[in-house]
Amino acid sequence: MTKGVLGLKFKTSPLPAGLYLVATPIGTARDITLRALDVLASADILVAEDTRTLRKLMDIHGIDLQGRPMIPYHDHSSASDRNRIIALITEGKSVAYASEAGTPLIADPGFKLVTDAQSNDLSVTTAPGPSAVITALTLAGLPTDRFLFAGFLPNQQKARVEQLSTLLKTQTTLVLYESPKRILALCTDIKDQTGPDHPVTLCRELTKRFEDIRPRPVSKLIEELESTSVKGEVVLVIGPVSQSGASDGDLDTALRKALLTMRVKDAAETVAGAFGLPKREVYQRALTLKDASHDETQPSDTSKTRRD
Ligand code: SAM
C-alpha cells in the first residue's frame, strides 16, 4: 500500500496479462477511482493517447513510473503500433490504456485495440470512471430514462442537419459533444428543426473551477452565444422531441395542468392521448414532475425512497 501525494492509497500488485482500459478525470484530478490508480501503479506497460498528460496525472497522485515503458497510442497510430501492443499482452504483460481524458473509446481512441485484443482471445477489462456524457446528463435537468449519445456531429452543415434530423426522430434525450467554435451553429440547426422553445442544456467545463450549466429554451441559449462566445469544453444535451411534434415543454405544461386535478395515471393517459405519445413514456414523465413538485414543497430532502 502506498500513499499518494493527495493522500489517496493505492495498491501495487502484479496484474494478470490483459488490456486494462483506465478512465481518467475530465477536469478535476481527484475524480479518479482508487482502482484506476491501482492499475496505473501496477500495470507492466502504460499506453496513453497523450503520454505527457498521463504522466502528469500519475505525478499528481504520486505514482512512479519505476522504469515501466510508456507507449503512445492515438488516432494516428497504425495497425503495426496496435500489433505491437497486442504482442506485449500475448507475451503475458498487463497493459493499461488511458485516453487523454475521460473514458477510452468514448469519442476517443481504443476501439480497435479492444477488438484486436478480443479477437486474439486476450483479456480486456476496465477501471471505469468519469465521462463527459454521463456527467452532462446528470446535470442537464432533462429526461434520463432514455438517451442517445452521438459524439461529435459532422462539421459540414448539410451533413450535420441531416444527422440531427435522424437523431431527433428517436424521441430520446440527445447528448452531443461539440467544439465551442461550432456550438452556436449547432444550436441554430436545432432551433430550425425543433422550434425556439425546445429545451437544451449547455454543459461547459464540467468538474472544473468554472463549471457552467445552462438549461434554456434553445432560442435563449442562441441569444447568449451570439452576445458572448463560449470557451472551454462543451457538451450539449437536447430534450426529446415528442412524436406529435410538440416540444417537451408543451408536454410538461399539459401534464402539470392535468396533475392539478387528476391522479398520475389518469393525467398520463389523458395527455398521452392528446399528444399521440406512448402511455408508458408519459407516465414516467408525469411521475418525475409529480416528484419534483413534491420535493419543492418539502422543507428538506428527508425522503430517500427510490422511484421505479
Ligand atoms: N473520452 C471523453 C469522455 O469520456 O467524455 C471524451 C473525449 S472527446 C475527445 C472530448 C470532448 O468531450 C470535448 O470536446 C467535450 O465535448 C467533451 N468533454 C470532455 N471533458 C469535458 C468537460 N470537462 N466539460 C465539458 N465537456 C467535456
Same domain, 260 and 198: no
Q: Which run of H or of E encompasses 252? A: helix 248-261
Q: Do 94 and 52 share a structural domain?
A: yes
Question: Confidence band (pLDDT; 50, 70, 90) for 252?
Answer: confident
* Structural domain that includes position 86: 2-130
- For residue 306, what pLDDT is reported? 35
The answer to whether position 286 is within a domain reads yes
From the alpha carbon of 207, which atom of ligand 1 is closest? 23
The answer to whether residues 40 and 123 belong to one domain is: yes
In a domain, 226, yes or no: yes
Q: Is the CB of 224 under 6 A from ligand 1?
A: no
Residue 84 counted as domain residue: yes
pLDDT at 297 over 60: no
In a domain, 302, yes or no: no
* Contact criterion met (CB below 8 Å) for 48 and 56: no
C-alpha of residue 204 to centroid of ligand 1, in Å: 10
Last residue of a domain, one of 212, 238, 264: 238
- pTM (2 decimals)? 0.81
Confidence bin at 305 (pLDDT 50/70/90): very low
Q: Is 23 in the pocket of ligand 1 (CB under 6 A)?
A: no
Give the pLDDT confidence score for residue 300 in this predicted structure.
42
CATH code of residue 201: 3.30.950.10
CA of 211 to the centre of ligand 1 (A): 13
Which residue puts its alpha carbon closest to atom 19 of ligand 1?
Answer: 132
Is 243 inside a domain boundary? no
| For range 249-262, the mean pLDDT | 86
The residue-averaged pLDDT of 69-92 equals 97
Cα dihedral 216, 182, 157, 152 in deg (nearest 10): -90
In a domain, 31, yes or no: yes
- Which amino acid, residue 199? P
pLDDT digits (tens, 9 = 90+) for 130-150: 999 999 999 999 999 999 999
Domain with residue 64: its CATH number is: 3.40.1010.10
Q: Is the distance from the beta carbon of residue 207 to the nearest atom of ligand 1 less than 6 Å? A: yes
Sheet of 199-204: strand order equals 147-152, 173-178, 234-238, 199-204, 212-217
Question: What is the C-alpha separation between 8 and 12, in angstroms, rounded?
Answer: 13
Is 242 a pocket residue for ligand 1 (Cβ < 6 Å)? no
Tell me whether residue 51 is in a domain.
yes
Question: Do 110 and 178 share a structural domain?
Answer: no
Where among 130, 153, 177 does a domain terminate? 130
Instruction: Give 65 Cα–ligand 1 centroid separation in angstroms.
Output: 26
Predicted confidence (pLDDT) at residue 212 exceeds the cutoff of 70: yes
